[in-house]
Structure 1
Amino acid sequence: MIIATPEVQDINSFSRLESLQEVYGIIWVLAPISIYVLAITIGVLVIVWLEREISAGIQQRIGPEYASPLGILQALADGTKLLFKENLLPSRGNSSLFSIGPSIAVIAILLSYSVIPFSYNLVLADLNIGIFLWIAISSIAPIGLLMSGYGSNNKYSFLGGLRAAAQSISYEIPLTLCVLSISLRVSNSLSTVDIVGAQSKYGFLGWNLWRQPIGFIVFLISSLAECERLPFDLPEAEEELVAGYQTEYSGIKFGLFYVASYLNLLVSSLFVTALYLGGSNLSIPYIFVPGLVEINKADGIFGTTIGIFITLAKTYLFLFIPITTRWTLPRLRMDQLLNLGWKFLLPISLGNLLLTTSSQLLSL
Structure 2
Amino acid sequence: MINAAALGTLRHVRVDELNSTPALAHLRYGLVSVTAAATTAALTVPTLHYLGLPIPMAGVGVLFGMVCPLFLRDSTQHNGAEHDHRTRWWHTLFILYGTTCIAWLAGALMNYSVVTAGIGFLAIFFVGLLLQNWGPRAIGAALNALVAYYLGIYLHPDADHTALALAVSLVGLAVVMMTCRWIWPIRAPSARSIGDAGAPDNSSIPVTSWREMHASLCWSPAVRGMGAAVLAIAVGHSLSPERWCWAVISVFVVFMGTRSRTDALRRGLQRLGGTVAGVLASALLVTWIGHSLWFDCLLMALCVGGWAYHILHAYARGVFFITILVALVYASLGFAMTPLLEVRLLEVVAGCLCAFATALIPGSAFFTRTNVTTMGDTPAGKTVNVCAAAVTAVAEDRGGIEPVRPGFFPAD
Does the TM-score normalized on the shorter chain lie above 0.5?
Answer: no
Scaled by the length of structure 2, the TM-score of the pair is 0.26
Where relative contact order (Cα < 8 A, 6+ residues apart) is larger, the structure is 1
Q: Which has the larger radius of gyration?
A: 1
